[in-house]
């Protein structure tokens, strides 16, 4: 009989959460890169500069797609690794790497999005 220890249970939780968040970030990345993520109040980089116009929104999310995709892929891979290893010392380090990748990618993507939206000619930005 398979015995579920607390360490294994937490490994499952952390692994699944990282995989789901990484997959969601990959999905948003793909939608943004294809201009299929329409302006909304819930998903995306929702800053005044990116919400100034529809064109600013689309350009910003196209620019953010690369870093978001990298972060989402790393997070999903780290989550899958935690599911395999459990939450031992290696699993904790891998989970931390996944979280750091998500945070770093989101920060880099936000900077890229803001720059792209600000670089629009004035007649397209409003």
**What are 43-102's pLDDT values in tens digits?**
999 999 999 999 999 999 999 999 999 999 999 999 999 999 888 999 999 999 999 999
Please count the structural domains in the chain: 1
Task: Note whether residue 10 is domain-resident.
Answer: no
Task: Note whether residue 6 is domain-resident.
Answer: no
Task: Note whether residue 53 is domain-resident.
Answer: yes
**How far apart are alpha carbons 71 and 43 in whole angstroms?**
16
Task: Note whether residue 91 is domain-resident.
Answer: no
Task: Note whether residue 4 is domain-resident.
Answer: no
Please give the radius of gyration of the chain, using alpha carbons only, rounded to the nearest integer.
Answer: 17
Task: Note whether residue 119 is domain-resident.
Answer: yes
Query: Considering the entire predicted model, what is its pTM?
Result: 0.88
Find out whether 83 and 15 touch, Cβ atoms under 8 Å.
yes
Task: Note whether residue 64 is domain-resident.
Answer: yes
Domain extent at residue 49: 24-33+45-85+104-126
Burial (CB count <10 Å: 0-12, 13-18, 19+), residue 78: buried
């Amino acid at each position: 009989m398979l015995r579920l220890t607390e360490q294994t249970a937490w490994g499952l939780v952390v692994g699944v959460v990282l995989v789901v968040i990484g997959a969601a970030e990959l999905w948003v990345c793909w939608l943004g890169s294809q201009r299929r993520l329409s302006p909304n109040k819930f998903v995306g980089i929702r800053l005044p500069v990116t919400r100034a116009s529809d064109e600013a929104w689309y350009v910003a999310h196209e620019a953010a797609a690369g870093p978001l995709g990298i972060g989402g892929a790393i997070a999903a891979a780290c989550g899958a690794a935690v599911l395999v290893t459990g939450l031992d010392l290696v699993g904790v380090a891998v989970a931390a790497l996944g979280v750091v990748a998500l945070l770093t990618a989101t920060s880099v993507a936000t900077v890229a999005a803001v720059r792209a939206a600000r670089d629009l000619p004035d007649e397209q930005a409003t």
